[in-house]
Every structure is written in structure tokens, then in C-alpha cells.
Chain A
Amino acid sequence: MGHTLGEAFALLASLDSRLLQVVGLSLRVSLSALALGTLLGLPLGAWLAVSRFRGRGAAIVAINALMGLPSVVVGVLVYLLLSRSGPFGGFGLLFSPAAMVAAQTVLVVPLIAAVSRQIVEEAWRDYAPELSLIGLSRWQSAFLLLADCRFALSVATLAGLGRAMSEVGAVMIVGGNIDGYTRVMTTAIALETSKGDLALAIALGLVLMAVILALNAAAYGLRAWAGRRYG
């Protein structure tokens, strides 16, 4: 183990362009999926928080359960949808970064929706009388509370980012782990492990952890600054 770690650090010191390309694609795919997932997940979560309808409880349970949806299952479903023989085959998206973004978006939306539902519902409980007296519609209330809770909601976004960056099952299946095109950090780690090149796998794992750590640190700093600035 110690020997493997040493080798891993030596590899990191020689950061080459192919490694940087893999890291870059990971960020591009996961941040795109995160952006899409946030755009879909936050309104969905906020709407669930402020709405009252039959089956709302079931919808919340379903969204919460989908947080634990295995990424391979999502991978296979998106694969079948995007395959040339599937309903969206005409776009020819399978084995492309776009397919990976689609799969990760599916993974991230329930997570962001579930966490934001929780956060917005707490604010809604406090503010519901005033908001309903002012006469805001459900959607107006939902977006107002999203704006109000935006710093707390960074937790939802970070959870989504963690899920997207760390998952391997879905991107492996729908991206195909194509060298130089759809190979991201997690699939590269899986590949190097299966080749028995554990040092390289660990080096990539260290890069992945460093990237996730850096993104979280940036989000924490932003939130601390916002807390001082906006109260």
C-alpha cells in the first residue's frame, strides 16, 4: 500500500495533458449535469414544498427514494432510451458526453429536489400565512422562497455535485469510456484498476478527491461570505 501510494504521488507530479483532459471532461460533464439538475430540481423541490395535492406524500416518498437510485440502473435506462434502437436513437447521442450529461442529470435531479423540498418547506412553514395573505401563487411563492433560501440550498447543489462527480456506473454504460472522448476520472479509475494498475488508479482517485474538495471549499467560502454580507 505504501509503495503504491508513493508511486501514485510520483504519477501526480508528472501531470500530463491526457490526465488534464480526463479531469476537464469530468468537470465539464458533471457541472453541466449539475446545472441542468439544479434548473430542474430546485423548482421541482420548491413546488413540492408549497403545494398541497392528493398524492403529494407519495410524490415526496418517491423523490426521496430516487435519491438512492443506483447509478447503473440509470445508466441502463438512459442507454436503452438513447440507443439507436431506442426511442431517442435518432439523435445519435449514445457514447457521447451529451449522453453522460443526460444520465447524470437524471441521477442528480431527485437528490436536489428532495433536499431543496426539505429546506424550502421549513421556510414555507414560517412564512405561509404572510405569503398567502399577500396572494402569491404557488409558483410565485416557490421561486420567492428559493431566492430566500439560496444559501442553504447550496447544500443541495453540493450534494448533487458529489453524486455526479463520484458516480461511475451510469457514465461507463452510456459514455462507453472511450479514450479521449468519454473517459472521465471515475471510469478511468475503474479501467486502471481492472488493468491491475493500482498506482495510477489511486493517483486518479487523489485527483478526484482534490477536485471535489476544492469545489466544496469554494462553495463553503462563498456561503460564509454571503452569510456575512446578506445576514
Chain B
Amino acid sequence: MASAFRTLIAALLLAAGLPALAQDALVVASTTSTEQSGLFSWLLPKFEAATGIRVRVVAVGTGQAIDIGRRGDADVLLVHDRAAEDKFVADGWGIARRDVMVNDFVVVGPRDDPAGVRSVRGAAQALQRIDAARQGFVSRGDKSGTHAAELRLWKEAGIDPKRSPGYKEAGAGMGPTLNLAAAINAYTVADRATWAAFKNRQQLDLVLAGDPALFNPYGVIPVNPARHPHVKKEAAERFAQWLTSPAGQEAIAAFRADGQPVFFPNAR
């Protein structure tokens, strides 16, 4: 019986099939907005068909994506926090940041809009209205690109958000933040792509969009092989080139989330 027991364990090990150790695919660290909107599942098959390079996407907040790049755990970044991106390159962790596309942030909130955000044009004014009406506002609070953009808008509005009566930090990605806002029927700033693909809207509606201050540029940055010699520098470079090439830009322009375009190519 003891031998049968041993055989069982051996069989278990074989059946489980210890996963292969080698990693041969390009690792892209990117943001939840690009992954959750479905952009990557749209773009990657086209990129793989064009180049034969397999891609794996780790979708996290921009802050964490940049940290993953700094540690050398990804080969290339596709993120949206210009200030942090420039610092990443200036510190020598990344090379040659390139513009890829923009999407925009939107302000969403209760359908009956108790703060009256629909009647203003600028995002900063919208935040002032929400603050003045003592309405709820859910912040990402996770050091993501969206969080950084949100904080810039509060600064522009001249308000310290921590003192705003209805301000709450979710400390989570875009989706969970939208879930929270939907649950308590509060305002929040979301990227258009995630909002378009978001299904659990309940009473939430889009209340403001189109302010240039809400534009959200994405950049692609290969990780610097001088710092991390193991990175797949050719594959990373081809990824960056393809995204900014006519083929990549057209693919981005053709992407639809919930029937509408959400990313707009802007490579030069």
C-alpha cells in the first residue's frame, strides 16, 4: 500500500504538469484601462501576426507598471502619466518615450446630477461644483495615471481634495472604483475606455467630457537594456515601432469599446 501511495503522488505530479520555466514572450507592463477596455485583445493578435512576437500583458496601475519596469520585470511599458514617464526616462530606466495615442477622462456621476456638473464646461469647475454641493466623489487613490490626472484637476480647481466633504479614496483600479461610485451613487473621474466597457453602471451616467484638461496621453517606453541586460530589446523596440507605425495607429483608430472609439492615435 505504501508503494501505491507513492505512485499516487507521482501521478499527481505528472498530471499537474509542472509548468515550463522558460519565458520567451515579450512582457508589456501596462494599465488597467488598456487591458480592461479590450484594446489589447484587439491589438495583440494583429501585432503578433505582423511580427511573430508573442506578447504578455501585465495590467496594473501606471505607478506599479513603472515600478515593474524599473525592476526589470517587463520589457516595455505602455502607460499614461507623462510626468512619471519623463522621470523614468530621465533616471535612465527607459529609452526613447514615444507618443502612441490619447484617450480622455470623463466625469461620471449620478444621473440626476445633484451638483449640476452638466452645466459647466471645464473639469476644474466640475470639481468645484461637487465640492460646493457637498456631493460624494470617489478617487482612485492608487497612484495610477488616472489618479495623477485627477489630482492635477483638483489642484487646478484650487481645492485640497482631502478636505472636500464627500471625498473618498478607493485605493483600487478603475473598475473597482467605478463599482464603488455606482454603489454609493457618487461622482468620479474615469478614463473613457474603461467607462465605455463598464457594465455595472446602475444610476451612473456621463456628466462631463471634452475639456482639453481631460486629455490622457499614452506613451510607449522600452526598458533600458543598459540597466537590465536580460530585457528583450529587439522585440521591445519592434513593439514600440509597430504601435507608432501606420499599421499600429490604424489598428488603434479602428478599436471600438461599447460601439464608440475611445483611443485616438497621436504618434508623430
The answer to whether A and B touch directly, with their CB atoms under 8 angstroms apart, is: yes
Q: Are B73 and A84 in contact (CB under 8 A)?
A: yes
CB of A152 closer than 8 Å to a CB of B: no
**With an 8 A cutoff between CB atoms, is A91 at the interface?**
yes
Q: Which size class do B's interface residues fall under? A: 35 or more
Within 66-95 of B, Cβ neighbours of A (below 8 Å) are at: 71-73
Q: How far in angstroms is the closest Cβ of chain A from B75? A: 11
Q: Digit string of B7-22 for contact with A (CB within 8 Å is 1, else 0)?
A: 0010011011111111
Given A83-B72, A85-B71, A197-B200, A178 contacting B56 (CB threshold 8 A): yes
Report Cα–Cα, A96/B197, bound state, in Å: 27
* A29 interfacial contact with B, CB 8 Å: yes
Counting chain A CB atoms within 10 Å of each CB, which of B21, B172, B197 scores highest? B21
A95 in contact with B178 given A84-B71, A198-B200 (CB within 8 Å)? no
Complex contact B23–A96 (CB within 8 A): yes
Stretch at the interface among A32-40, A54-62, A120-128: A32-40
Say yes or no: is A11 at the interface (Cβ < 8 Å to chain B).
no
Check if A194 sits within 8 Å of B19, measured CB to CB.
Answer: no
Query: Does A196 lie within 8 Å of B201, measured CB to CB?
Result: yes
Pairwise interchain contact A94-B73, C-beta atoms closer than 8 A:
yes
B236 within 8 A of A: no
User: Distance in Å from the Cβ of B35 to the closest Cβ of chain A?
Assistant: 8
Q: Min CB distance, B87 to chain A, in Å?
A: 18
A35-B9, A230-B1 are known contacts. Are A29 and B73 too (CB-CB below 8 A)?
Answer: no
CB of A194 within 8 A of CB of B175, answer yes
> Considering the chains assembled together, what is the distance between the CA atoms of A28 and B23 in angstroms?
18
Q: Indicate if A195 sits at the interface (CB-CB under 8 A).
A: yes
Q: Is B178's CB under 8 angstroms from A196's CB? A: yes
Report which of B17, B19, B73, B174 forms a contact with A83, defined as CB distance below 8 A: B73
- Expressed in whole angstroms, the Cα–Cα distance for A179 and B17 within the complex equals 20
Check if B57 is an interface residue, CB within 8 A of chain A: yes
Q: Cβ of A96 and Cβ of B199 under 8 Å apart?
A: no
- When A83-B72, A84-B230, A95-B73 are in contact, do A197 and B199 touch as well, CB less than 8 Å? yes
Q: What is the CB-to-nearest-CB distance from B202 to chain A, in angstroms, rounded to a whole number?
A: 9
**Mask: chain A, 84-110; 1 = CB below 8 Å from B; 0 = not:** 111001011111111001000000000
| Known interface pairs A39-B9, A193-B175; A32-B57 also in contact (CB < 8 Å) | no
- Determine whether the beta carbon of B71 is less than 8 Å from that of A196: no
Whether B176 pairs with A32 at a CB distance below 8 angstroms is no
> How close is B37's CB to chain A, nearest CB, in angstroms?
9
Complex alpha-carbon distance, A230 and B1, angstroms: 9
Cα(A95)–Cα(B18), bound, Å: 15
Contact A196 B72 (CB under 8 A): no
State the CA gap A176–B190 with chains docked (Å). Answer: 23
Shortest Cβ gap from B64 to chain A (Å)? 10
Whether B72 contacts A38 by the Cβ 8 Å rule is no
Question: For the complex, is B102 an interface residue (Cβ under 8 Å from A)?
Answer: no
20 contacts between A and B (CB under 8 A): A29-B19, A32-B17, A32-B19, A83-B73, A91-B21, A94-B73, A95-B23, A95-B58, A98-B19, A98-B21, A147-B1, A181-B56, A193-B179, A194-B32, A194-B172, A194-B174, A195-B194, A195-B199, A196-B178, A196-B179
Chain B's closest residue to A90 (CB) is: B230
User: Which chain B positions have C-beta within 8 A of A96?
Assistant: 19, 21, 23
Q: Is B41 an interface residue (CB 8 A)?
A: yes
Q: Mark B141-157, 1 if CB is under 8 A from A, else 0.
A: 00000000000000000
- In angstroms, how far is the closest chain B Cβ from the Cβ of A101? 7
Answer yes or no: A223 CB below 8 A from chain B CBs: no
Contact B71 A83 (CB under 8 A): yes
Q: Which residues of B contact A197 (CB under 8 A)?
A: 199-200
A142 to B18, CA, bound (A): 27
The distance in angstroms between the C-alpha atoms of A36 and B200, with both chains bound, is 40
**Residue B242, interface by CB 8 Å:** no
Per the bound structure, the CA–CA distance linking A35 and B8 in Å amounts to 10
A150-B5, A178-B57, A191-B36 are known contacts. Are A97 and B19 too (CB-CB below 8 A)? yes
Residue B40 at the chain A interface, CB threshold 8 Å: yes
How far apart are the CA atoms of A194 and B56 in the complex, in Å?
20
